[in-house]
Chains A and B, each alone.
Chain A
Amino acid sequence: MSTVQDIEISDSGRAASAGLASGHGFRELEGEKMELNMGPSHPSTHGVLRIVLELDGEIITKAMPEIGYLHRGDEKIAENMTFNQFVPYTDRLDYLAPLANNVHYALAVEKLLGVTDRMPERGTYLRTICCEMARVSAHLLGLGAFAMDVGAMTVFLHTFTEREKVYTLCEALTGARFTTSFTRVGGLARDCPKGWIDAVAKFCDEVEVNFDETEKLLTRSPIWVDRTKDVGTISQENAISYGLTGPNLRGSGVDYDVRKSHPYLIYDQLDFEVPLGSVGDSYDRYLVRMEEMRQSVRMIRQCIDRIPGGRDNELGLPVNIEDGKIVLPDKQKVLSSMEELIHQFMLVTQGPNTPKGEVYFGAENPKGELGFFIHSRGGGTPYRMKIRAPSFVNLSILPKMLQGCLISDVVTILGSIDFVMGECDR
């Protein structure tokens, strides 16, 4: 009787037996691995993220995200202009929630100036409404794109119908649908137009119907649950050690929301809950976002009910800090009064005069904690500005999450992390 080695066998068989005999196991049999470039232009990388995948069949053995394709040097640009001039650049950070970026940037500069308490209440309320509307719109798109990546295209178009209404509201408020540039240091570009708050109230009613429809399409759909449950699970420890924030962190069950733990604007007066996930998988992150939108609508309603001056500002309350050294004075006065003319000139040419010092302000953006670190050496321009972009930090966990997943899971995970490259690359 012949041994295995004696039989004429094909190369792979020989390799197997030789491998077994030499004690190397099946190492020789490991097939060739394929390197696959997902992105920078790929339908589900949401912009220009590039992931270099090493594949064994459809299983990912290694994943390396490469970022920077949208790098514009925003932080450096900030050093070369006055604080107000940088507002339009904040639109282009998380371009799915420009209003929130505007507000948080303005709050950071106001913290540097030390004028946070002097902000009129009406302006603060409007800012809060803006932030929460931005959150709803960002989550609507995030969820829709997530669902579309997993194959449910109808969900995307349904959520985008609502998002379209947010755009229309943005246009009525700021004049621009996408790049809003609404805030100024010490206030807003203008008060909301007549009837705008009523439109927001109407939107709140309509969008809640949409949430229910979306939930009907996804939450209990067996395929959706199969695709997202236990996919891309992030444990509490990992979520914290990788510095995740926002819905991704709360999806893992960590109770941290900047709005609750370090309240800013009027969040300490609002009644809202912070939804938490239990496992930290993609499904939990989906549920967390879904509930966050409902909570946002709840907050918007509270703001509408309590907004000082009434819906259309019948009392004529101010929305900006009335200090010519911070906020541009009334144009009529500029043309007729010397002091205001000087203020206008100084603000436009030099910017608001900030004290020397360093300040960090972090706030709850739709994607996570958006932080501005400003180092000022006095004057109207920052010496150095660092933007803590939540998407950038959230993406850092990607290689860990992707390992051992299937290609189909990549799109699920990317969708559930819900990042924006504009913010990540800055």
Chain B
Amino acid sequence: MDWGFIISALVKAGIVFGAAMTAFAYAGVMAERKISAAIQDRIGPNRVPLPTPLMAAVPLLGPILAKLSATFVAPLLNPVIKGLGLIQPAVDGVKAFTKEDYTPEHVNKVYFWIAPMIVFIPSVVILAVIPFGSTLPFGEIAGVDIGTQKMVIADLNVGILFSFGIVSLSVYGIVLAGWASNSKFPFLGGIRASAQMVSYELAMGLSIVPIFLIVGELNLSGIINYQAENSWLIAPYKEHLLLLPSLFLSCAIFTVAIFAETNRLPFDLPEAETELVSGYNTEYGSMKFAMFFMGEYIAMIAGAAMIVTLFLGGWTLPFGVLDDQATSIWAGLAHIGIFVTKVVAILWVMVWVRWMMPRFRYDQLMDLGWRTVLPIAIINIGVVATILFFNHVK
């Protein structure tokens, strides 16, 4: 057994999970609240100071630390930390954990408990196949030859199919939550979720077929390498100019489908708080609700990462050497930085859209999915295939 592989995979998984949770807390919750506040002429979270009193709990040095922090550090840092709401996500997390974990009497307990996990786990698992950087050539550190590490947890040759398969699992969690709650509003939310997510998954799958036609493989690293060598797939100008509108359309459809898949406004029908109270999670509270919440936001992050990987060149940037596999640690870190920046940009757009739009109606959503997006995606495949065929023949 290759212990080196297992250890490196575990370390990478740990780092990615940690980064995803941090991103959930900060890019997700805090950015969402701060951006929405900016859009709506509000201030947003600005009350939570440094947890100075908590420092007193440190053995022996505690009181001194607390005193020092209160006199020197807190007055200096608190205005910034409060203003940006930096401690807010941590406090929210503590609140979710320490709330009473209440299970209503009328629910189907087993499914009620499993549902949040089924929503949460798949959204995290998708992150496993996404290449978040090129390589990190560590070489030998402290006598151990770590070698060159690929910046992806699982470099599957069917990466994209894997992520599609996993993405479709989370809908079960939502449907299960709606059904197990044994209550009417969650039930309606669950029904809506199943219909919505299934229909948009089709469009999502079809919208990226053109990419496979062009690239010719399903491995996400392969797709990025292709984009590094040629051009980003949102605008593949080097292949054929005729492909530009088609691929842009693909990207648009995929983005819309990601919105629908992650239940973000304008597609947040399963939740639709003004119609269905809170939709599928009406009966949930404390950490079980937080699981749904995390699942939703991490799915959002994963969705943004997918958009970046498939259409926006992943970790590449068409300047200088940034398109090549990293040969030094700094280049490797730069690649990770580029990837994260792109993901954050997409997340920002997702937050922005959420606060600017009304919500679709159920039938309009279905109509859009089946009668507009799906046919366009299918036609798009035909167009791309035709262009590629003649391009090839020539």
Task: List residues of chain A with CB under 8 Å of any chain B CB.
Answer: 34, 36-37, 42-44, 58, 147-154, 157-158, 161, 217-218, 221, 223-224, 226-227, 406-411
Closest chain-B Cβ to A202's Cβ sits at a distance in Å of 18
9-residue interface stretch from B100-108, B144-152, B288-296, B356-364? B356-364
- A44: chain B residues at CB < 8 Å are 274-275
Does chain A have a CB within 8 A of B41?
Answer: yes
A226-B41 CB under 8 A given contacts A36-B184, A43-B274, A44-B275: no
Task: List residues of chain B with CB under 8 Å of any chain A CB.
Answer: 36, 39-42, 184-185, 188, 191-192, 265-266, 268-269, 272-277, 355-364
- A147: chain B residues at CB < 8 Å are 358
Closest chain-A Cβ to B184's Cβ sits at a distance in Å of 5
- B42: chain A residues at CB < 8 Å are 157
B358 and A158 form a contact (CB under 8 A): no
- B268: chain A residues at CB < 8 Å are 151
User: In whole angstroms, what is the CA distance A411 to B358 when docked?
Assistant: 12
Smallest Cβ-Cβ distance to B185: which chain A residue: A36
A158-B41 CB under 8 A given contacts A42-B277, A43-B274, A410-B275: yes
- B188: chain A residues at CB < 8 Å are 36, 58, 407
8 additional A-B residue pairs with CB within 8 Å, beyond A154-B36, A161-B41, A408-B275: A43-B273, A149-B275, A152-B358, A152-B359, A154-B40, A158-B41, A223-B266, A408-B359
Smallest Cβ-Cβ distance to A217: which chain B residue: B356
User: In whole angstroms, what is the CA distance A43 to B273 when docked?
Assistant: 7
Smallest Cβ-Cβ distance to B42: which chain A residue: A157
User: In whole angstroms, what is the CA distance A217 to B356 when docked?
Assistant: 7
A154-B364 CB under 8 A given contacts A34-B184, A223-B266: no
Most buried by A among B268, B274, B360, B362: B274
Closest chain-B Cβ to A123's Cβ sits at a distance in Å of 36
Report which of B39, B41, B273, B362 forms a contact with A406, defined as CB distance below 8 A: B362
A151 and B40 form a contact (CB under 8 A): no
- A34: chain B residues at CB < 8 Å are 184
User: In whole angstroms, what is the CA distance A406 to B361 when docked?
Assistant: 8
Q: 15 A-B Cβ contacts within 8 A? A: A43-B274, A43-B277, A58-B192, A151-B266, A153-B40, A154-B39, A157-B41, A158-B40, A223-B360, A226-B364, A227-B360, A406-B361, A406-B362, A407-B362, A408-B359
User: In whole angstroms, what is the CA distance A221 to B266 when docked?
Assistant: 12
- A226: chain B residues at CB < 8 Å are 360-361, 364
- B39: chain A residues at CB < 8 Å are 154
- A37: chain B residues at CB < 8 Å are 184
Smallest Cβ-Cβ distance to A152: which chain B residue: B358
User: In whole angstroms, what is the CA distance A65 to B192 when docked?
Assistant: 25
Closest chain-A Cβ to B87's Cβ sits at a distance in Å of 24
- Count A-B pairs with CB separation below 8 Å: 82
A227 and B184 form a contact (CB under 8 A): no
- B276: chain A residues at CB < 8 Å are 407
Smallest Cβ-Cβ distance to B195: which chain A residue: A58
A58-B362 CB under 8 A given contacts A407-B275, A411-B275: yes
A408-B362 CB under 8 A given contacts A58-B188, A149-B274: yes
B361 and A409 form a contact (CB under 8 A): yes
Report which of A42, A158, A221, A227 forms a contact with B361, defined as CB distance below 8 A: A227
User: In whole angstroms, what is the CA distance A152 to B274 when docked?
Assistant: 11
User: In whole angstroms, what is the CA distance A43 to B191 when docked?
Assistant: 20
User: In whole angstroms, what is the CA distance A34 to B277 when docked?
Assistant: 17
Most buried by B among A34, A223, A409: A223
A148 and B357 form a contact (CB under 8 A): no
- A151: chain B residues at CB < 8 Å are 265-266, 268, 272, 274, 357-359
User: In whole angstroms, what is the CA distance A147 to B40 when docked?
Assistant: 14
Smallest Cβ-Cβ distance to A412: which chain B residue: B361
- B192: chain A residues at CB < 8 Å are 58
User: In whole angstroms, what is the CA distance A319 to B320 when docked?
Assistant: 78
User: In whole angstroms, what is the CA distance A42 to B273 when docked?
Assistant: 10
User: In whole angstroms, what is the CA distance A150 to B275 when docked?
Assistant: 9
User: In whole angstroms, what is the CA distance A95 to B203 when docked?
Assistant: 48
User: In whole angstroms, what is the CA distance A200 to B66 when docked?
Assistant: 51
Closest chain-B Cβ to A356's Cβ sits at a distance in Å of 50
A157-B40 CB under 8 A given contacts A223-B266, A406-B363: yes
Closest chain-A Cβ to B346's Cβ sits at a distance in Å of 20
Closest chain-B Cβ to A332's Cβ sits at a distance in Å of 46
B355 and A223 form a contact (CB under 8 A): no
Closest chain-B Cβ to A176's Cβ sits at a distance in Å of 25
- B274: chain A residues at CB < 8 Å are 43-44, 148-151, 411
Report which of A150, A161, A406, A409 forms a contact with B358, defined as CB distance below 8 A: A150
User: In whole angstroms, what is the CA distance A37 to B188 when docked?
Assistant: 13
B357 and A221 form a contact (CB under 8 A): yes
Report which of B40, B277, B358, B363 forms a contact with A224, defined as CB distance below 8 A: B358
- B36: chain A residues at CB < 8 Å are 154
* Shortest Cβ-Cβ A-B pairs, 10 listed: A151-B359, A157-B40, A152-B358, A151-B358, A408-B361, A44-B274, A150-B358, A149-B274, A223-B358, A224-B358
